[in-house]
């Protein structure tokens, strides 16, 4: 059975200051990803030579961030790990029913539904950024790895790149809607992603000690292939 992440704070313990549930790497990943995705969308819609150059750079940044988050999901802090929030179907369905009925309890990290939304978003972003590496616009823009695909395969991957971009709009809309709905029910998800702390929790549910060495290693491993891709461009 999954551990209970919803214990109330003990009297006088971390009720006001909160307990750290999101480590710095997770928070930096979240907000940097927001900037990179927004840049990718804006430049993709506006077009133009320098805009598309920036589109490629932001897309590679997204890919690097996804790689980092996958690694951090294996070696990161307590609530950052996939093992902490990727739950089985029974747990997910039970939580969904409770949430719809307004009786779902607040969790320290990602709730069972939110955990799977993270996985789906990461997969969609990986496909979106990955196909973009080989894409072309039939005019003047080619992805950094276009030369390894050839025109025919590139055209197919370009079609996938455009299709997944439409899927991403829907996933982002669902993400924002979920954040707003949680806020309406008294569970502010944005503030903890800024401060790292969440009030009203048992201190035992905290994220633990910083993992600076692991964070640096994960960042280096994620950055290496992105640097190589941009060097190929």
Euclidean distance between the first and final Cα of the chain, in Å?
49
Q: What is the pTM of this model?
A: 0.88
Task: Assign residue 56 the CATH number of its domain.
Answer: 1.20.950.20
Question: Of all helices (H) and strands (E), which one includes residue 94?
Answer: helix 89-100
Q: Is residue 122 part of a domain?
A: yes
Interatomic CA distance for residues 174 and 117, integer angstroms = 9
What pLDDT is recorded for position 125? Answer: 97
The answer to whether 62 and 35 have CB atoms below 8 angstroms apart is no
Q: Is residue 7 part of a domain?
A: no
Q: Residue 206 pLDDT > 90, yes or no?
A: no
Interatomic CA distance for residues 151 and 200, integer angstroms = 56
Q: Is residue 10 part of a domain?
A: no
The answer to whether 119 and 109 have CB atoms below 8 angstroms apart is no
The pLDDT of 190-212, averaged and rounded, is 84
- Tell how many helices (H) and how many strands (E) occur in the chain: 8, 2
How would residue 17 be classed by pLDDT, with cut points 50, 70 and 90? low
Interatomic CA distance for residues 133 and 23, integer angstroms = 31
Interatomic CA distance for residues 60 and 175, integer angstroms = 22
Please state the domain count of the chain. Answer: 1
How would residue 196 be classed by pLDDT, with cut points 50, 70 and 90? very high
Q: Report percent pLDDT > 90 for the chain.
A: 70
Q: Is residue 206 part of a domain?
A: no
The answer to whether 179 and 189 have CB atoms below 8 angstroms apart is yes
What pLDDT is recorded for position 108? Answer: 86
Q: Is residue 175 part of a domain?
A: yes
Chain centroid to CA 126: 10
The answer to whether 29 and 68 have CB atoms below 8 angstroms apart is yes
Q: Is residue 207 part of a domain?
A: no
Domain extent at residue 132: 19-197+212-232
Q: Residue 9 pLDDT > 90, yes or no?
A: no
What pLDDT is recorded for position 7? Answer: 44
What pLDDT is recorded for position 173? Answer: 94
Interatomic CA distance for residues 83 and 119, integer angstroms = 12
User: Nearest CA to 68 among 225, 219, 226, 224?
Assistant: 219
Q: Which of 45-54, 91-100, 116-125, 196-205 is modeled with the greatest confidence?
A: 116-125
The pLDDT of 46-69, averaged and rounded, is 95
What pLDDT is recorded for position 10? Answer: 43
Alpha helices for the chain (secondary structure H): 24-46, 49-75, 82-85, 89-100, 112-132, 151-184, 190-195, 212-232
3-state secondary structure of 20: strand
Q: Is residue 50 part of a domain?
A: yes
Q: Residue 4 pLDDT > 90, yes or no?
A: no
Q: Is the dihedral of CA 209, 212, 217, 222 positive or negative?
A: positive
What pLDDT is recorded for position 62? Answer: 98
Q: Is residue 8 part of a domain?
A: no
What pLDDT is recorded for position 15? Answer: 46
């Amino acid at each position: 059975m999954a551990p209970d992440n919803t214990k109330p704070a003990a009297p006088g313990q971390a009720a006001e200051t909160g307990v750290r549930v999101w480590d710095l790497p997770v928070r930096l990943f979240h907000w940097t990803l927001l900037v990179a995705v927004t840049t990718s969308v804006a430049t993709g819609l506006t077009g133009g030579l320098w805009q598309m150059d920036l589109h490629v750079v932001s897309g590679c940044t997204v890919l690097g961030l996804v790689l980092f988050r996958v690694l951090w999901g294996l070696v990161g802090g307590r609530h950052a790990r996939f093992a902490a929030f990727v739950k089985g179907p029974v747990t997910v369905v039970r939580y969904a029913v409770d949430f719809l009925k307004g009786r779902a309890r607040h969790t320290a990290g990602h709730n069972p539904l939110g955990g799977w939304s993270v996985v789906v978003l990461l997969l969609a972003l990986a496909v979106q950024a990955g196909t973009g590496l080989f894409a072309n616009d039939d005019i003047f823009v080619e992805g950094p790895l276009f030369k390894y695909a050839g025109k025919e395969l590139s055209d197919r991957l370009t079609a996938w790149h455009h299709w997944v971009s439409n899927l991403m709009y829907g996933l982002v809309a669902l993400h924002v809607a979920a954040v707003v709905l949680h806020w309406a029910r008294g569970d502010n998800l944005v503030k903890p992603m800024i401060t790292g702390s969440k009030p009203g929790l048992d201190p035992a549910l905290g994220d633990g000690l910083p993992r600076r060495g692991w964070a640096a290693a994960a960042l280096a491993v994620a950055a290496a292939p992105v640097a190589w891709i941009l060097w190929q461009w």
